[in-house]
Copies of this chain bind each other. A is one copy, B any other.
């Protein structure tokens, strides 16, 4: 499959381009120059042009990119043409805050359910999705063909829970726990680690 040869960083930037195109679209812009699109996405124009060469010929010299056409192609590549179901595991403070994030559906994702050691009806109502016990995980993942999970459990149980997710059929994990998960080769993990991001910033302001 040709998609496998696209570098991971490129895929990441495609999301940035896509989002910039959505803003252009909202402003009824029909074509954008590579310079304008690159600036809106926060990358260099040469980088943008290089990234888009992976997907064939886009844009006309001197005219720029057709917003509608490039959006459609990126959506297709990124696999968000249809709503993708995702589950969230660990409905504590951070998990609950994420569930209240209004942008999921807009970005092509639907939270099918949340899982927690202490599910309760009251919280399900507040959070707007079913909050289920871990014993229901496997069935739901199978029935709704869920492949992606957001992991917001405490660090000391994250590996154990990740193992359960993978056994249930999850193939992609967005991990908020501050540990490096050990996973089989067919599973992809992206990490979001607030403390590490801060540490990184602190280096640059010394």
Residues of chain A having any CB pair with chain B under 8 Å: 3, 8, 11-12, 14-16, 18-20, 40-42, 77-80, 84, 86, 93-94, 96-98, 100-101, 103-104, 106-109, 147-148, 150, 171-174, 178, 180-181, 188, 190, 192, 194-206
Contact = CB atoms under 8 A, between A and B. Distances in A.
A42 B205 contact: no
B42 A200 contact: no
Contact of A15 (B19, B107, B147, B196): B196
A190 B200 contact: yes
* Copies of the protein in its oligomer: 2
Contacts of A180: 16, 20, 40-42
A84 B204 CA distance: 13
